[in-house]
Amino acid sequence: MKTTISLSAPADVLTESLVAVVLDHAEPVQNGQPQKDKKPLLKVATADAAVQSVTADLLASGELTGKPFETNLLHKPAGLKAKRLLLISGGPARKFSAYELRRIAGTAVRTLKSRGIRSFGFVAPPLKLELDPPSPVGLVSEIATRAIVEGAHVGNFDPDYYRSDRKDQKIDELTVVTGGDQVALEKAAAEAQIIGESQNFTRDLVNEPSNRMTPTILADRARKMCADVGLKCEVYGADKIKELKMGAFWSVAQGSDEPPALIVMTYEPAGAPAKPVLGLVGKGITFDTGGISIKPADGMEKMKYDMAGGATMIGAMRAIALLKPNVKVIGIVCATENMPSGHAQKPGDVQIAMSGKSIEIINTDAEGRLVLADGLYYARQLGCTHLVDAATLTGAVVVALGYSNAGVFANDDAMYERFHAANVKEGEKMWRMPLDDEYKEQIRSSIADIMNTGGRWGGAITAAMFLKEFAEETPWIHLDIAGTAWMEEQKPWIAKGPSGIALRSLVEFVKSFAQ
Ligand code: BES
Ligand code: MN
Ligand code: ZN
């Protein structure tokens, strides 16, 4: 999507469609009294007199609810150069922030592209941001621009590649209509575009079924991406995995006829300080049957997205290479299938991880923590001083948090605070979960150092406790994205399918080390 900035008045922008946000200014509480049956008080979020005048009757008609994502399309709007004016409700004005704006931008894209429209102009609304101290207007319009461009990219992705009637409707051109410093706004838009394209790159990888996204293919895609953006990329196979004594990773890989891949992407900008070195480690299970502890047939097809954590790290490395923050980053993806076969590992087997820790395998379906154990330890061997992993690790995190929040675990409060700030800035919902020592009891083994499952209760936590044994003292964050990496249904702003969750926060988190 080509993205440009226009400092013209909205009425003067010549485009297929202009998009403006409608906000509800009704006060739910007045003089301390909750207002029952309050009517919405709708205003279009721009100072442009022509846009206000052409929408005035509709907004005052009482026909609209003002609920988020309500849309109205006007043709030949009087006084505007645009051919159409699309109004999208953003909900209550007092709550409207970059988070809502991203979703409105995604909704604009999905609404217009389904009508065959390929270009539009989005009128940036003023943002209420709870910044302390309040930010100057210029900064607010940069934040709005970023949100619009990122959200528009999210909306522009469709997963229906393999339908022969695929319409492949896309928006080709977005103009952000705003005010402020042109150079700063163009920089904001260009950076947001890199992030949006990288998020969609990740979604492309996650969307592929397992027969078209084997570990070898995933590694090839990573290699090609790295060549395109100037990253170093190494791909290792079974021999190297065994040579490195990655007994936990190999224990999963040994059951599959597809060769595993250990993908290492290195970003080392000239002049970056020796430390920190950030390690981004992703779970890359290209299909999770469960192995000998095989999963039920119902819903097993979804396990093609069990490489979403790995794909997130590959996409994040792409964005980092293009945004060029002054900090070293290493991306590691442990890619393999988890299959049952005559050479698959079995419950009761004992495996020795790269770190030397012995693991009693209770359930071969708890394979993600096994590959990540060696991935995290290897990252530390390569010199990483800070670690983040992302993984579709447990069904239990979906029980705990549902589909709206990813689980975050951290062994270091400062690291958590830094990551949380990135979540807020990038509009990704994540919720911190505990990692108290008590939970370790649940993964104690009678014959080895540790077991790979911790029983029924607190399953997302015991999985994270397992990983913590391999991060040890290195500041580390674990993201369990099992409930958030795949949209179970479409939303106004995003298609059903891969979400690309966590990439934006990861990139923002990495950037925070470069300042
Ligand atoms: N890949 C699954 C987790 C998962 C579940 C991802 C649902 C996405 C949606 C993981 O490898 C797994 O099978 N976890 C088991 C662990 C159990 C055996 C301790 C689970 O959650 O049931
Ligand atoms: Mn599994
Ligand atoms: Zn899995």
Please provide the DSSP assignment of 95-163 as one string: G--HHHHHHHHHHHHHHHHTTT--EEEEEPPP-----SSPPPHHHHHHHHHHHHHHHHHHHT----TT-
Residue nearest to atom 16 of ligand 1 (CA): 366
The reply to whether the predicted model has a pTM over 0.95 is yes
Does 288 sit in the ligand 1 pocket, CB within 6 Å?
A: yes
115 is catalytic: no
Rounded to the nearest integer, the mean pLDDT of the chain is: 96
Does 22 sit in the ligand 1 pocket, CB within 6 Å?
A: no
For residue 324, give the nearest of 264, 388, 382, 268 by alpha carbon: 268
Look at 52-66, 162-176, 424-438 and tell me which has the smallest mean pLDDT: 162-176
The yes/no answer on whether domain 2-181 falls in CATH 3.40.220.10 is yes
Tell me, in angstroms, the distance from the centre of ligand 2 to residue 343's CA: 17
- CA 4 to chain centroid: 24
Tell me, in angstroms, the distance from the centre of ligand 1 to residue 290's CA: 8
Tokens, residue 331: 């991306």
* Backbone conformation region of residue 92, classed left if phi is above 0, alpha if psi is from -120 to 50, else beta: beta
d(CA 481, CA 392): 5
What average pLDDT score do residues 428-433 get? 98
The yes/no answer on whether domain 216-514 falls in CATH 2.40.160.20 is no
Tell me, in angstroms, the distance from the centre of ligand 2 to residue 215's CA: 16
Tell me, in angstroms, the distance from the centre of ligand 3 to residue 337's CA: 9
Tell me, in angstroms, the distance from the centre of ligand 3 to residue 154's CA: 25
d(CA 395, CA 501): 17
| pLDDT, tens digit (0-9, with 9 covering 90-100), for 348-405 | 999 999 999 999 999 999 999 999 999 999 999 999 999 999 999 999 999 999 999 9
Residue nearest to atom 14 of ligand 1 (CA): 394
d(CA 279, CA 282): 10
For residue 303, give the nearest of 290, 292, 288 by alpha carbon: 288
Residue 486 CA: which ligand is closest?
1
Residue nearest to atom 13 of ligand 1 (CA): 365
pLDDT for 135 equals: 60
**Which residue of 394, 403, 443, 456 sits with most ligand 1 atoms within 8 Å of its CB, as the best mutation to test the pocket?**
394
369 is catalytic: yes
Q: How many other C-beta atoms lie within 10 A of the C-beta of residue 71?
A: 17
pLDDT for 38 equals: 79
Does 215 sit in the ligand 1 pocket, CB within 6 Å?
A: no
Q: H or E element: which one contains 71?
A: strand 71-75
| pLDDT, tens digit (0-9, with 9 covering 90-100), for 230-272 | 999 999 999 999 999 999 999 999 999 999 999 999 999 999 9
Q: Residues of CATH 3.40.220.10 domain(s) within the chain? A: 2-181
pLDDT for 33 equals: 83
**Which residue of 249, 251, 312, 365 sits with most ligand 1 atoms within 8 Å of its CB, as the best mutation to test the pocket?**
365
430 exposure class (CB count in 10 Å sphere: 0-12, 13-18, 19+): buried
DSSP code of residue 275: -
Does the pLDDT of residue 308 top 80, yes or no?
A: yes
Q: Which residue in 118, 128, 223, 295 is the catalytic one? A: 295
Q: Residues of CATH 3.40.630.10 domain(s) within the chain? A: 216-514
Does 453 sit in the ligand 1 pocket, CB within 6 Å?
A: yes
Q: Which residue in 84, 328, 369, 418 is the catalytic one? A: 369
Residue nearest to atom 3 of ligand 1 (CA): 394
Tell me, in angstroms, the distance from the centre of ligand 3 to residue 205's CA: 16
pLDDT band at residue 129 under the 50/70/90 scheme: low
Does 396 sit in the ligand 1 pocket, CB within 6 Å?
A: yes
Phi, psi of 232 (to 5 degrees): -80, 140
